[in-house]
Amino acid sequence: MGLPNIDIVFKSLAKSAIERGSKGTVALVLKDKKVIDKVITLESVKDTPKELSTENKEQIELAFKGGYKTPKKVIFYCLGEEGVLEDALNVMEAEVWDYIAIPCIQEGEVDKVATWIKGLREDNIKVQAVLPNGKADNEGIINFTTTPIQVGEKEYTNTQYCSRLAGIFAGTPLNISATYYVLNEVTDVPHLRKSEIDKKINNGELVLINDGEKCKIGRAVNSLTSTIEGKGEEYKKIKIVSTMDLIDRDIRKTFEDDYVSKYGNGYDNQVNFVVAVNGYLEGLEQEGILAKRQNNISINVDAIKKYWTKKQVDVSKLNKKELEELSTGSNVFLKGKIRILDAMEDLEIQFEM
């Protein structure tokens, strides 16, 4: 019967948010001589096509290493040796994934990919890219700059290790952060002073550090450095952005799949949808993803006023309830606020003697 089904969908999404957040999908763009021009989905490294080059098999293995958990799956698209990157991006745009890495990327192509990611996010396709030396100043671009990376006797560039980072983020639950995540296989990275590390992080760089005992992620930040109204300091953290992306996708997908064209756009149906979304947000509070009692959405009366003012209809004498009950065609105007819980990362203790 009607909208309770939406409520059930939202409740199940809230309960599975941490699991889904820690079992993300990694997308890779590779170059190969044999397996080309098709998207292949892998649920395990064991599913890797045998005919792939050794280098490409290794990139898939790096992605599947994951973080606190392994990614849900890895999808990849192989260009031919003379393939054009734009062709792969066009294909990947139609796929569903969370983080992308492009081990075959050339220096001059980083900005192109960053622009592509920015465009996707503006179109409400909430994805992120791990790019080498990608100073994009955007929350969707993770700018990985540590190079070289020593793994036993083998040395990797940051370009070659972006797949590993994408796998870590895809395998990190939303109630924790990848800050100080230890890469056990890495034996050394360039040694930097704390002031140098701080400068890089403040510059929107994701770096690996050697603390004298182990190599780990310095702070899990993206490339955003310029904050503006509506996009503050919290947008610099991968954990926060990934959580916002999940919430955006959940609400948008549920609305598209279970609501669009299935109900009349009247006040009662809008209220029922609002109740369902608020129940979803409350579920995220219980899962430790959102702060307690600081999250809600409601009908956006100001947007309704603007809607009718543009149509040259005077609504100045209507009260809040009357405005909420006005028909707005096919438009559903909502507003809300959320407070995402950050992870414990900074500590200050004052002792008295």
Provide CB contacts within 8 A for 344, sequence distance 6+. none
Asked whether residue 90 carries a pLDDT value surpassing 60, the answer given is yes
Q: Running DSSP on this structure, what letter comes out for residue 77?
A: E
User: If 0-12 CB within 10 Å is exposed, 13-18 middle and 19+ buried, where does residue 108 land?
Assistant: exposed
How many residues in total does the chain contain? 353
Asked whether residue 8 carries a pLDDT value surpassing 60, the answer given is no
* Domain count of the fold of the chain: 1
Structural domain of 91: 23-171+179-219
pLDDT at 3: 41
Residue 59 binned pLDDT confidence (cut-offs 50, 70, 90) = very high
> Cis peptide before 148, with omega less than 30 degrees from 0?
yes
Asked whether residue 53 carries a pLDDT value surpassing 90, the answer given is yes
Asked whether residue 140 carries a pLDDT value surpassing 50, the answer given is yes
Asked whether residue 4 carries a pLDDT value surpassing 90, the answer given is no
- In sequence order, what E strands does the chain have? 25-31, 39-42, 73-79, 99-101, 128-132, 141-144, 149-151, 154-156, 208-210, 215-217, 296-299, 334-337
Residue 89 resides in a domain: yes
Residue 164 resides in a domain: yes
Question: 């149906």: which residue's tokens?
Answer: 269
Residue 312 resides in a domain: no
pLDDT at 7: 55
Q: Evaluate whether 116 touches 178 at the Cβ level (below 8 Å).
A: no
Residue 187 resides in a domain: yes
**Separation of alpha carbons 17 and 287, rounded Å:** 8
Residue in 236, 284, 249, 76 with CA at minimum distance from that of residue 167: 76
Work out the average pLDDT over 316-343: 92
User: CATH no. for residue 55?
Assistant: 3.30.1370.220
Alpha-helix residue ranges (DSSP H) falling in 133-203? 158-170, 194-202
**What separation in angstroms does the CA of 279 have from each of 71, 253, 271?**
28, 16, 12
Comparing 34-38, 120-124, 240-244, which segment has the lowest mean pLDDT?
34-38
Residue 143 resides in a domain: yes
Work out the average pLDDT over 266-277: 92
pLDDT at 21: 59
Asked whether residue 63 carries a pLDDT value surpassing 70, the answer given is yes
Work out the average pLDDT over 246-258: 89
Work out the average pLDDT over 210-237: 94
The predicted-structure confidence for 272-324, as pLDDT tens digits, reads as follows: 999 989 999 999 999 899 999 999 999 999 999 999 999 999 999 999 999 99
Asked whether residue 259 carries a pLDDT value surpassing 60, the answer given is yes
Residue 285 resides in a domain: no
Residue 11 binned pLDDT confidence (cut-offs 50, 70, 90) = low
Model pTM greater than 0.85? Answer: yes
**What separation in angstroms does the CA of 297 have from each of 161, 239, 279, 301?**
40, 22, 10, 12
Average pLDDT value over all residues in the chain = 92
pLDDT at 16: 72
Residue 207 resides in a domain: yes
**Separation of alpha carbons 345 and 217, rounded Å:** 12
Comparing 4-8, 231-235, 337-341, which segment has the lowest mean pLDDT?
4-8
The predicted-structure confidence for 165-199, as pLDDT tens digits, reads as follows: 999 999 999 999 999 999 999 999 999 999 999 99
pLDDT at 1: 41
Residue 251 resides in a domain: no
